[in-house]
Amino acid sequence: MPDSRTLSKYYNFVEMKLFSTTLFAIAILFSSCSKSIILQDTQENSHQIPSSESKGTVLMFITPDCPLSHAYTFNFKELANDFPNYAYYAVLPGEHYSKNELRHFADSFHFNIPILLDKKYELTHNLKATITPEFFLLDNSGNIKYQGAFDNWAITLARKRIKPNRFWLKNAVRQFSKDSTIVISKTEAVGCVIE
């Protein structure tokens, strides 16, 4: 049987390994949350996500052929009008749509919020977005403060309530604006799967 001195050295070695592994894992976790990504919009202007020039960044992942992306354009614009001290962007994952299709989408819904082209899914993967529309509220360090549905109007892609009675994204923005704890920080997004 090993003596107490040998066991002590062994336990110290194991503790150091566990500690360094834990620190490494924490560093990876925080670096992925706070990574700054630059994307171009449909007008070829560059935008940094998260924006450092506003209280926070609010994102709406969209696809022009998803009916719920259409349905929530008005709500997203209304939120931008209600809380103007945030940066608002729509994010289009992939390269499946032409600029003409995006212009038609924006014109059809009078959607004047910049549409960012995430051609290589960099922001999509970083935030783990999987649905359109899926909404995110980010602080200036890129930490996700809210992720999920805009509200509870859509039950499934084909089934909706007469009107919503839970306004998750708006409540999260309101609470974040007051530096309060965000009561509901994650919900299940309903819509079309990101391809």
Q: What are phi and psi of 39, to 5 degrees?
A: -125, 150
Confidence of residue 35 (pLDDT cuts 50, 70, 90): confident
- List, in sequence order, every beta strand (DSSP E) within 101-158: 115-118, 131-132, 134-138, 144-148
Going by pLDDT thresholds of 50, 70 and 90, the confidence category of residue 76 is very high
pLDDT (0 to 100) of residue 21: 43
pLDDT digits (tens, 9 = 90+) for 139-153: 999 999 999 999 999
Listed as own residue / partner, the contacts of 173-176 with beta carbons closer than 8 Å and 24 or more positions apart are: 173/56, 173/58, 173/79, 173/83, 173/86, 173/137, 173/146, 174/83, 176/55, 176/56, 176/137, 176/139, 176/145, 176/146
In this prediction, residue 25 carries a pLDDT of 40
**Average pLDDT in the chain:** 86
- Asked if pLDDT for residue 170 goes beyond 50, the answer is yes
| 89-142 confidence digits (pLDDT tens) | 999 999 998 888 888 888 889 999 999 999 999 999 999 999 999 999 999 999
Q: Which amino acid is at 185?
A: S
- Report whether pLDDT(24) > 90: no
| Confidence check: pLDDT of 13 > 60 | no
The yes-or-no verdict on residue 179 having pLDDT over 70 is yes
Structural contact between residues 156 and 123, judged by C-beta atoms closer than 8 angstroms: no
The mean per-residue pLDDT over the stretch 64-89 comes to 95
Single out the residue of 79, 48, 61 nearest to residue 142, CA to CA.
48
Pairing between strand 115-118 and 87-93?
parallel
**Top-tier CATH class for 37-193:** alpha beta
Any idea where the domains of the chain sit in the sequence?
1-33, 37-193
pTM > 0.85: no
Check if the beta carbon of residue 167 is closer than 8 Å to that of residue 75: no
Residue 73 near residue 163 (C-beta atoms within 8 A): no
